[in-house]
Structures are given as C-alpha cells and as structure tokens.
Amino acid sequence: MHGLLVVDKGEDISSARAIEPVKRALRMRKRVGHAGTLDPFATGVLIVLFGDVTRLTESLTDLPKVYRATVIFGERTDTLDIEGEVVERADPGPSAPSGLEASLGEFVGEIEQVPPAYSALKVGGRPAYRLARKGEAPELASRRVKVHEIKLLEDRWPEVEIEVVCGSGTYLRALARDIGERLGFPASLRALRRTAIGPFLAENGVRIDRNVELPRRSVLAAIQSPRVIPKVVGLTEVRLSLAEARVFIRGNTVKLDNPLEIGRTYAFLDDTGGFLLGLGKINPDGSLRPKKVLPHGVDEILRRMR
C-alpha cells in the first residue's frame, strides 16, 4: 500500500503519536511517516506518507504552510508557548499599540530567526530541548526563513490572532517572541493551528485526537495516490517508454528520445501514465539521472517485461 493521507491533528498529542492510529488502521508498522512536525499543543494538518511514498517526503517540505496563531503579549514562557513556565512578565497596557499591524509587516519576506531553545534542532549532536530541560542554554544560530504574509485577524489585546503564510523551517513560537520584542513586550503563543500545507487543508483531513481509533474503511477511502505529489509540488510529468523505464527503475542513466530541459527535475511515469516511477534530473548531456525510484512502479514494469 502506497500513498498519502491528510490528517487533522488534535491537541495534546505529538505528531509521532498522531500517526499511530493510521498505522493500526492500515496494518502497517513500517514505512509510515509524516511531513511537517507539529508541537503537541498545536493542531492541524499533518501529511502522513506510507509505503514507497515515504521516499518523497523531502519533496513536500518546501510547500507553503498556513497557520492561525494566537499570540499573548505581556508574558513569555521558557518554551514560548502555553506548555512552558512563565519566565518574564510585563504590563501590556489596556490596548494594542498603534504600530501593531506595521510591526507585523516588518516580518514579511526573508528574515533572520533564532529557533526556540525548546526545539529538536541539534546542538553538539544533541537535541536542543534536552539541553534546555537540563537548565543549559543551547546556542542556536539564527537562520534565514521566509514569511510570505502575515494578517491581523482579530485584536483581543493582550491577545491577537494572526494568520501566517510561511516556508519550511519557520518557528511560529519564535515569530511570536520576535513580534513581542519589536513591540516592547514579552510574548508567547497561546494557540496554534496549521490550516494548510500547500493544497492540503485541515478541514479535509481525517481527525485524530488522543486515544482515537480509526475505522480501516474510512482511512482507505481518504488515501490519495502517489500521483498527486508531482502535481502539488509543481513537477512536470513525463512518460517513459517501456525500454526507458526498464533502465530508469534500475537506477541507471537513461538516454531519452525526446529532449528535456537540462538541470531540471521531472516526475517520470510509465508509458500508460498509471504509475509514478520516481523523480529524475536531466544531465548536461540531456540524459536522465534517477533521483528517487519507487519500487511499486518497478514491480509494474517488471510484470510487463515478462
């Protein structure tokens, strides 16, 4: 079984625990993973991949993500969210400062962001959150992330709700901290919901809460084909002849009959268009170099070769 499933993760459950009901429903213990981790307190879209499609997880990481975040001003926790201990307080005053919306706009574009101390990023080979839990202060370097858009949805000062469209690697907890610093207040996240990853919407996902059991039939009905991935990540599909496919599935360089754009990555299908064989890049000499080969496509080609 190969494909992907859009999940709407509930509160108080880790991303790893959230995919356990999917594993049980599909009766798969191996080769099941997810793209885009959510903190336990956060809700929303997880893309669960299983079977050969787990090889394409990296292809989904660059899809834009949409979040609804509730930021509370006047207090900051050690984790920068409601799960942590308050480490700083300040009176935010009775109403939002006049420069609130303008300050939000300053965080649109490519920005430098220091990740939260409580994160899974490695410091000296160890996750930063483990060092933070021991009272150590992990030194995390700033990195460039991309924020496409920030909208102020509701002002309930000292809480505000914002919508953020951003790229991979953006920490909304760190964004809340930095917006607070720009306004002169400590700040943390009160709530966070990821409403979309690319075209995959939370409202269309299979809801998973703590201790839920999923009917196998409903999970099977919601599975999307591997064929959806090239479309959502913007890869052009190219069909290979049976002779070309035989070379491709073995991971060997393919001499193509029809020229393609040099340096570009394509998604390659069998000649009937029914199976995604994998991804490949065009060499300077115009030949095809396989990057990711999907074994379920290999099985189909081998069957047709007999």
Q: Which of 39, 52, 81, 178 is catalytic?
A: 39
Over the Cα atoms of the chain, what is R_g? 23
Of 72, 287, 90, 62, the C-alpha closest to 166 is 62
Pairing of strands 126-127, 122-123: antiparallel
Q: Active site includes 78?
A: no
Helices (H), the chain: 15-18, 20-26, 57-60, 100-105, 128-133, 172-183, 216-222, 228-233, 242-248, 295-305
Asked if 163 and 67 count as a contact pair (C-beta separation under 8 A), the reply is yes
Asked if 265 and 291 count as a contact pair (C-beta separation under 8 A), the reply is yes
Backbone angles phi, psi at 302, to 5 degrees: -65, -35
Asked if 47 and 37 count as a contact pair (C-beta separation under 8 A), the reply is no
**Preceding omega of 158 cis (within 30 degrees of 0):** yes
Residue with tokens 């885009």: 36
Catalytic (active-site) positions: 39
